[in-house]
Amino acid sequence: MRDSLVPAPLAQLPWRVILLVLAIGGFGLVVLYSAAGGSVRPWALNQGIRFGVFLGGAVVLARVPVAWLKTAAFPVYLGLVALLFVVELFGFVGGGSQRWLDLGFIRLQPSELMKPGIVLVLARFYDRLPAGEIRGVNALWPAAVLIGLPAALVMLQPDLGTALMICFGGVTILFLAGLPLRLFIGAAAAVAAAAPIAFGMMHEYQRNRVLIFLSPESDPLGRGYHISQSKIAIGSGGLFGKGFLGGTQSHLDYLPEGHTDFVFATMAEEWGLAGGIAIIVAYLLVVLWGLNVGLSSKGKFERLAATGLSATIFFYVAINLSMVMGMAPVVGIPLPLVSFGGSAMMTVLLCLGMLMALDRQARAAR
């Protein structure tokens, strides 16, 4: 009887998650409208159109059979690595680092696509690996190469934030695939030991960001300015904020990047803790839905891909919010769906589209 009212493909969509994403994106548009001083230009309108297009793309992606994703995982991964090489060789300098490839009609940022790419390829790799070998060396070194290659290329650009996200996404799959726990504990210890060495190899600006993260007040007008002003914006918002269009930090330009990386601070100043909790909860619900898709899937690939993709969304949000609230260095990771900009939105809606495809298959199997 349901079939008679709504066509089957539409009825099969996970409407609750789509509404959640619509709510987050819609709220983002409201914040961008305010960040522009109460105007849909130059940000909210563009962002709204983009949001509509990408969400439509995600819904189309939801109809793609999972088998296609499985087949495409390796070729797509290799293609992205090749593109990363190209960016390294011919890439254009944007914001001081080479990140994107200008194809004329779109600026392609292969490192951005590598975030879901690494998840798919590793899911595919462990899918093919016999369960018996999961504790052996053969389970580890190919994965290390698969993660290390793109991470190193992105690091060369240099883009610490994206490189970290690729590593985080990859390691999450390794963890879920069942690699021995001691590996993770050992790696954590090794990272702690190697941190000073890595610090020495960083670019000057990255090193400054780390130092300023450790004590932002040491340089309140220089590099610590972003974090200081962001904390002022969030802290001054209080419980319910200063009201829509009432933020002074953002409207008087004290908050830098108030429509991109620090959009959360712009939001928090006007909507307060209430708005912040709403965003955190909404994202957690999306992420946990994705995790649940993984848990209810049957195949190894499906399980790993679903949990990995939802983890990618989680890392975006977690890193951005930590950074904005002064809990992490400024690494240039936007808040997806809310920050102005297409790349992160595209990636997250790509993840979401694939999750919906996985969800559709999991429900069909039940």
For binding to other proteins (CB under 8 A), which residues are involved? 131-132, 134-136, 172, 175-178, 229, 231-239, 248-249, 252-254, 268-269, 272-273, 276-277, 280-281, 283-284, 287-288, 291, 294-295, 300, 303-304, 307, 311, 314, 318, 321-322, 325, 327
Phi, psi of 13 (to 5 degrees): -70, 145
Nearer to other proteins, 57 or 299 (CB): 299
Q: Is 305 exposed, middle or buried (0-12, 13-18, 19+ CB in 10 A)?
A: buried
State the Cα–Cα distance between residues 214 and 209, nearest whole angstrom: 9
The amino acid present at 180, given as its one-letter code, is P
Q: For residues 181 and 192, which CB has a smaller minimum distance to other proteins in the complex?
A: 181
Least Cβ distance, residue 307 to other proteins (angstroms): 5
Contact at 8 Å (CB) between 304 and 294? yes
Least distance from C-beta 34 to other proteins, angstroms? Answer: 16
Residue number, 86 or 131, with CB nearest to other proteins? 131
- Nearer to other proteins (CB atom), residue 27 or residue 100: 27
Distance CA 202, CA 195 (A): 11
Minimum distance between the CB of residue 181 and other proteins, rounded to whole angstroms?
9
CB-wise, 206 or 249, nearer to other proteins? 249
Measured from the CB atom, the residue of 99 and 124 that comes closer to other proteins is: 124
Q: How far is the CB of 64 from other proteins (least distance, A)?
A: 23
CB 155 → other proteins: shortest distance, Å? 24
Strands ordered across the beta sheet of 92-94: 92-94, 97-102, 107-108
Distance CA 221, CA 227 (A): 10
For residue 317, the minimal CB distance to other proteins (Å) is 8
| 358 Cβ neighbours under 8 A, 6+ residues apart | 66, 293, 294, 297, 302, 305, 306, 309
In the complex, what is the shortest distance from the CB of residue 260 to other proteins, in angstroms, rounded to a whole number? 16
Cβ-based nearer residue to other proteins, 81 or 174 = 174
Nearer to other proteins, 157 or 297 (CB): 297
Would you say 32 and 340 are in contact if contact means Cβ atoms under 8 Å apart? Answer: yes
- What the block records as the tokens of 233 is 């914006």
Beta carbon of residue 217, minimum distance to other proteins (angstroms, whole number)? 11
CA dihedral 142, 146, 147, 153 (to 10 degrees): 140
Q: Which long-range contacts (CB under 8 A, 24 or more apart) does 190-196 make?
A: none
